[in-house]
Amino acid sequence: MIVVDGRTDREKLVELLQLPEQTHLEFKAELDLTVKQDELNFVKDAVSMSNRPPGGYILVGVNDDGALALPTGTIVDRARFDGARLGDTIRKYIEGEIHVISQVHEVDGHEVVLIYLPHHRDGLPVPMSKLGQFSGPNSKQVLVFRERDVLVREGARNTALRHAHWNDPLSHRDQRLREEARAHVDSLIADLAAAMRTGGAGPALVPLAVEMAGDAFGDAVVSHLEADSDIRLRQFLGQATALVSNPDERRTALDKITILAAHAMYFERDAIAEKAIDSLFDAYAKLGHGDAAARLDIITLVYVLGSLAVRLRQWSVVHDLALRPYPPSGDIYIYSSWIRHGQVDASCADLFPKDKGGLMISAARVLMSEQPALGADVPGSAVPDPGDLAHDDALFNSLCQFDILYCLIVAAEGKHHGSGYPAASAMNQDRSDPAFEVVASDPDARAAMFPTSDERKVAEAMTQVFTSAERESFGFGGHWWSLPQVAQRFVSNHLGEGT
């Protein structure tokens, strides 16, 4: 699994370096764009990558095995890797446009160029517009691509477009066309819901349907919440949960359950929020052994709700999301948290490498950007594109904080197997520090998240989780150093100065 979110920051590079080459990720040990052979091979790689939705990344300065290849200072002219210049190079050979984003980073004494290649805006693959060949040994012409070739990425190689590939770009394009076709209807639904809320329209309410776009569905949910129409909301949750068994409707059903939960949390309708979370858990429990990808989708949505609970300071919801044993009963090995079960299940299915759960944080952040209705507390217009991820990105930071809080809760309150894995260790520590700080400094928050643990137990959990995060961070560049001061004082007060 690779999250193609358009980001080119250092944290994204660290995330990608944990993955092997695949359909949406290519490694190049070196690249000299002044050499025709290198230029043409790069163009072929870039076009093949962008022809396969949703696009992907090329890392220059990385060997095929993932080892860093270029010591700092090797790239004499970094300007050659400017996104605009790379785009100009590619456009000379294609019938279409491409918008390349790139950054040069330094990692462990090496430099790496991170290049993002988005899928084409029209949703269709583009052909090459001219012959690509260079002079090889003995002046023999070596062919790289022909005019009218349509190339796509397949695994870690490039290949000519075949019938088997068409479903990928066409399904992507069909989805975009469906969204465009529904846009007008959903706008009318949103306007109707708003008018009914302000005009005192009585008991008439906008129907809830999984087919609705996220924003329109969110507006409809708000109208039901304001009308105290709990029966309709509960009825919808039951229907949506039943649809999860259908792979064709699963994704939209899960999204709608989560949007409903998010709005119920925002309006402090605790019973409805809990029912919606129960529905997600029921859907998770009903999935079969071969449904690791669907389970990962649900756990990613759990992260979305957990980050919202952090931003709303609804600490009991954080506890409820984190501490749901799975399977619920009847199994020899029960995980203390369904989150950890979902991570392990995804790893066993090769959806991401073992203990690289940071990918879920990135996936959840992309989801909130694509569906603003999932962040009930943040207006859609205020949600920045994850490609512009900043150090103070409230959505990304609250995801990291939920991740740490989930680990702390499992460490202190878990009664079964499987400790939490601190996926946020792949990110800069300052994104997660507020999680440690609120546990250490806010007694009410601590009581809500750790209802059965005394302060010593919480301090032990804090030490355990931070030690694990610090150790794991060395595999991501070592950007964790020590507990925040208020958390360190809390630990010292309850475990002694020598801890």
CA proximity to 364, closest of 351, 374, 379: 374
Residue 73, CA distances (Å) to 9, 109, 111 in order: 20, 9, 8
| 270: in domain | no
Distance CA 131, CA 148 (A): 9
The boundaries of the domain holding residue 88 are: 10-165
- Among all chains, which residue has been given the structure tokens 């949406």? 24
Distance CA 66, CA 331 (A): 38
| 57: in domain | yes
The one-character DSSP state at 497 is T
- The share of the chain scoring above pLDDT 70, in percent, equals 88
| 267: in domain | no
- pLDDT tier at 203 (50, 70, 90 boundaries)? very low
| 197: in domain | no
pLDDT digits (tens, 9 = 90+) for 133-142: 999 888 899 9
Strands 55-60 vs 25-28: parallel, antiparallel or unpaired:
parallel
Which residues make Cβ contacts (< 8 Å) with residue 431, sequence separation at least 6?
391, 396, 397, 400, 401, 424
Q: By the 8 A CB rule, do 14 and 424 touch?
A: no
- For 396-408, give the DSSP string: HHHHHHHHHHHHH
* Residues 306, 451 share a domain: yes
CA proximity to 21, closest of 165, 181, 154: 154
Please, what is the average pLDDT of the chain? 87
pLDDT: which is higher, 44 or 171: 44
* Residues 446, 310 share a domain: yes
Q: By the 8 A CB rule, do 258 and 300 touch?
A: no
| 229: in domain | no
Distance CA 468, CA 485 (A): 18
- Among all chains, which residue has been given the structure tokens 């080119």? 8
Distance CA 66, CA 26 (A): 10
Q: By the 8 A CB rule, do 26 and 57 touch?
A: yes
Alpha helix segments (H runs only) across 228-291: 230-243, 247-266, 270-286
pLDDT digits (tens, 9 = 90+) for 326-353: 988 777 789 999 999 998 888 888 887 6
* Residues 461, 313 share a domain: yes
- For 61-89, give the DSSP string: TB-TTS-B--BTT--S-GGGG-HHHHHHH
CATH number of the domain that residue 127 is part of: 3.30.950
Q: By the 8 A CB rule, do 135 and 153 touch?
A: no
Of 165, 198, 220, the domain-final residue = 165
Alpha helix segments (H runs only) across 313-376: 315-322, 338-348, 358-370
Q: By the 8 A CB rule, do 39 and 33 touch?
A: yes
pLDDT of residue 194: 57
Of 165, 198, 228, the domain-final residue = 165
| 227: in domain | no
| Sign of the dihedral defined by the CA atoms of residues 432, 436, 438, 441, in that order | negative
Q: Check whether 247 has a pLDDT greater than 70.
A: yes
pLDDT digits (tens, 9 = 90+) for 304-323: 999 999 999 999 999 999 99
pLDDT of residue 204: 57
Burial-class residue 201 by CB neighbours within 10 Å (0-12, 13-18, 19+). middle
Q: How many CB atoms lie within 10 A of CB 79?
A: 9
| 205: in domain | no
As a whole number of angstroms, the longest Cα–Cα distance in the chain is 85
The one-character DSSP state at 211 is T
Structure tokens, 226:
């304001």
Distance CA 375, CA 138 (A): 62
Number of domains in the chain: 2
Of 136, 165, 194, the domain-final residue = 165
| 206: in domain | no
* Residues 426, 293 share a domain: yes
pLDDT of residue 201: 47
The one-character DSSP state at 421 is P
- pLDDT tier at 460 (50, 70, 90 boundaries)? very high
- pLDDT tier at 416 (50, 70, 90 boundaries)? confident
